[in-house]
């Protein structure tokens, strides 16, 4: 059964806080130490103080939030008993808050509270998705949690919150947006509604990511990338993702590569596999050819159009100074080969891989990993 879910009320700018905080007495804020210590948490706390809202800040979230962090946050959340749960930060803070909210309510430990996501990076789209990724350091693994109940009730998209994001992070998170949009577009669960969101996200990325990477103070481009992130999130939350994310989860988990960068490194190689660049054109190539048309990269045939998208994507990633191979990311061959079988197995079993448009085996995934290590694209 196909479906398209839109639950989150999206506010374009800080003014939405007035409506969200009306009638609220207690609020719990999940964020990271930088947001807290730099004073950026004041984006939420200053309006709360003016309205007399009591609040508590949980700022222990680190990149790739783990089970222990979520458990600690749940304990403080239950003690404070807020009416509203805010997540302020990038994907890690939002994912941690999602897990805290979902597990505490699902476990019968807390009453349903309003959940508001305030993203400070333009990448994950987590503010409008049913997904959260929690890591287990002991197993070098990342576990995607999926439930409609994890969707925030509201989100605030304000480019001012991403003004200070450095170029390298802008690149990593921006290529994450592109990966979300492309994977959603070719997913086995794609439909007209997800296509519309994915297409617009891809257009916005193409027009704005390089601009804001080169000029971080281009606030128009910043807001467009913030919007693109949200649109891509809407697309993949409904359509699903694919092999790229399945591989990126385990690659990032083993070698501590930021999630967006891991996606960017792998993206051209997964696209080449899906399109059949190495072993004969597949039906998926037609979907990539449609992307070529959307981005005005089309050639004279499906083959040329699909290959054009793959090559252009790699060139685009190079312009953002993202490593174009796993080796270029600083991973020694012996370290890579030592965990290759384990990573291929993990990617095969990753829930994101289920909606990949081309069926794949563990051996197929190993081959894609190996091509991504050496840089053999087509």
3-state helix/strand/coil string of 135-198: EEHHHCEEEEEECHHHCCCEEEECHHHHCCCCHHHHHHHHHHHHHHHHHHHHCCCCCHHHHHHH
Q: Domain count of the chain?
A: 2
Q: Of 99, 128, 162, which residue sits at a domain end?
A: 162
The pLDDT of residue 110 is: 82
Q: Are residues 114 and 249 in the same domain?
A: no
Q: Contact, 40 vs 161, CB < 8 A?
A: yes
Q: Are residues 289 and 352 in the same domain?
A: yes
In a domain, 265, yes or no: yes
In a domain, 4, yes or no: no
Q: Contact, 102 vs 129, CB < 8 A?
A: no
Q: Are residues 189 and 154 in the same domain?
A: no
Q: Are residues 128 and 179 in the same domain?
A: no
Identify which of 68, 62, 52 has the alpha carbon closest to the alpha carbon of residue 31. Answer: 62
Q: Are residues 339 and 297 in the same domain?
A: yes
Q: Are residues 203 and 310 in the same domain?
A: yes
In a domain, 268, yes or no: yes
Q: What does each of the 378 residues of the chain score in pLDDT, given as a tens digit?
A: 577 888 899 999 888 899 999 999 999 999 999 999 999 999 999 999 999 999 999 999 988 888 899 999 999 999 999 999 999 998 899 999 999 999 998 888 888 899 999 999 998 898 998 888 888 777 767 777 888 888 999 999 999 999 989 999 999 999 999 999 999 999 999 999 999 999 999 999 999 999 999 999 999 999 999 999 999 999 999 999 999 999 999 999 899 999 999 999 999 999 999 999 888 899 999 999 999 999 998 888 999 999 999 999 999 999 999 999 999 999 999 999 999 999 999 999 998 999 999 999 999 999 999 999 999 766
In a domain, 155, yes or no: yes
Q: Are residues 176 and 203 in the same domain?
A: yes
In a domain, 2, yes or no: no
- pTM for the model: 0.90
Q: Of 136, 162, 188, which residue sits at a domain end?
A: 162
In a domain, 1, yes or no: no
Q: Are residues 191 and 337 in the same domain?
A: yes
What's the alpha-carbon Rg for the chain, to the nearest Å?
Answer: 20
Identify which of 237, 235, 67, 239 has the alpha carbon closest to the alpha carbon of residue 142. Answer: 67
Domain extent at residue 102: 9-162
Q: Of 144, 162, 180, which residue sits at a domain end?
A: 162
In a domain, 126, yes or no: yes
Q: How far apart are CA 154 and CA 232, in angstroms?
A: 17
Write the CATH number for 153: 3.40.50.1970
Q: Are residues 272 and 328 in the same domain?
A: yes
The pLDDT of residue 1 is: 59
Q: Are residues 225 and 345 in the same domain?
A: yes
Q: Are residues 124 and 21 in the same domain?
A: yes
The pLDDT of residue 378 is: 64
In a domain, 365, yes or no: yes
Write the CATH number for 281: 1.20.1090.10
Q: Are residues 226 and 154 in the same domain?
A: no
């Amino acid at each position: 059964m196909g479906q398209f879910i839109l639950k989150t009320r999206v506010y374009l700018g800080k003014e939405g806080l007035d409506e969200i905080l009306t009638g609220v007495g207690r609020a719990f804020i999940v964020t990271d130490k930088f947001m807290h210590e730099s004073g950026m948490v004041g984006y939420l706390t200053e309006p709360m103080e003016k309205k007399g809202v009591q609040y508590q800040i949980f700022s222990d979230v680190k990149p790739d939030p783990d089970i222990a962090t979520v458990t600690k946050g749940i304990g403080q959340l239950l003690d404070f008993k807020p009416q509203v749960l805010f997540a302020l930060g990038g994907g890690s803070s939002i994912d941690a808050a999602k897990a805290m909210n979902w597990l505490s309510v699902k476990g019968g430990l807390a009453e349903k509270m309003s959940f508001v996501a305030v993203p400070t990076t333009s990448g994950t789209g987590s503010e409008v998705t049913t997904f959260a990724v929690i890591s287990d350091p002991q197993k070098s693994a990342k576990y995607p949690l999926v439930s409609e109940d994890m969707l925030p009730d509201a989100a605030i998209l304000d480019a001012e919150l991403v003004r200070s994001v450095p170029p390298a992070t802008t690149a990593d998170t921006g290529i994450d947006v592109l990966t979300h949009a492309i994977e959603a577009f070719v997913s086995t669960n794609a439909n007209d509604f997800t296509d519309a969101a994915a297409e617009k996200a891809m257009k916005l990325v193409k027009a704005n990511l390089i601009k804001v990477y080169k000029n971080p103070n281009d606030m128009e481009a910043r807001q467009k990338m913030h919007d693109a992130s949200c649109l891509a999130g809407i697309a993949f939350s409904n359509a699903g993702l694919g092999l790229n994310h399945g591989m990126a989860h385990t690659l990032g988990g083993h070698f501590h590569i930021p999630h967006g960068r891991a996606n960017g490194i792998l993206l051209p190689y997964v696209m080449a596999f899906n399109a059949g660049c190495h072993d004969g054109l597949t039906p998926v190539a037609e979907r990539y050819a449609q992307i070529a048309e959307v981005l005005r990269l089309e050639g004279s045939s499906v083959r040329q159009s699909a290959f054009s998208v793959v090559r252009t994507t790699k060139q685009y990633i190079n312009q953002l100074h993202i490593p174009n191979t796993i080796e270029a990311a600083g991973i020694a061959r012996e370290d890579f080969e030592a965990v290759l079988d384990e990573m291929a197995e993990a990617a095969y079993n990753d829930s994101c891989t289920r909606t990949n448009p081309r069926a794949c085996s563990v051996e197929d995934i190993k081959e894609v990993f190996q091509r991504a290590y050496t840089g053999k694209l087509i």
